[in-house]
Amino acid sequence: MEKARKYVEQALALGAADAVPFAISDIRFDSRTLLKCMYGCGDWGRNHTCPSRPGNPTMEQYREMFSRYSWGVIVHCHEKALSQKISFELERTAFADGYYFAFSLSDCASCPAGCAAETGQPCRFVKTARPAFHSVGIDVFATVHGLGLPLDTLFDPETEEQNWYSAVFVE
């Protein structure tokens, strides 16, 4: 994982709480994540990056696409927008380094007033909007716990510190 060192260091310099390399075998796919999206997410069907949007790939298609990668970096932050910003910067760096298929996953935080999809408008940030880890069928809990990173269910997300995860699939 020597190739990942540069991206781990960049993520930490940009403010990540943690950044760790992963092998694709570390990523735990579980299609049950779709159930949690459908019956637990207030944004279901409302965001452009949501798995419910017409034309988005299926969980099986996502799994096949991500299975073609061999490694990447997981980014841990305590702020959603920072997690997205860092993972996208890593994606850009990896792309410039010749990894032209580098792709980040993060909960989208580009629209502070809500996703443009809510009003039927096209995505305002199509170049930086990315789907969330869980929305493509990745079990975030199993994945990050397997890498020794913290993540707990929260009783009250308004008062408890949140852990936001993003990932950059590089090669």
Say which DSSP state 4 is in: G
Q: 11: which residues sit within 8 A by CB, 6+ positions away? A: 19, 73, 75, 86, 87, 90
**pLDDT at residue 55 above 90?**
no
User: Is 48 a residue whose pLDDT tops 80?
Assistant: no
| Overall residue count recorded for the chain in this entry | 171
* DSSP category for residue 168: E
Predicted model pTM = 0.91
**DSSP letters of 97-135?**
TT-TT-EEE------TT--GGGGTPPPTTTTT----TGG
The pLDDT value given to residue 73: 98
- Who has greater pLDDT, 133 or 97? 97
Strand 164-169 to 71-77 pairing: antiparallel
- In terms of average pLDDT, the best of 61-75, 108-122, 155-169 is 61-75
Banded model confidence at residue 126, pLDDT cuts 50, 70, 90: confident
Domain boundaries, the chain: 2-169
Is the pLDDT confidence value at 32 over 80? yes
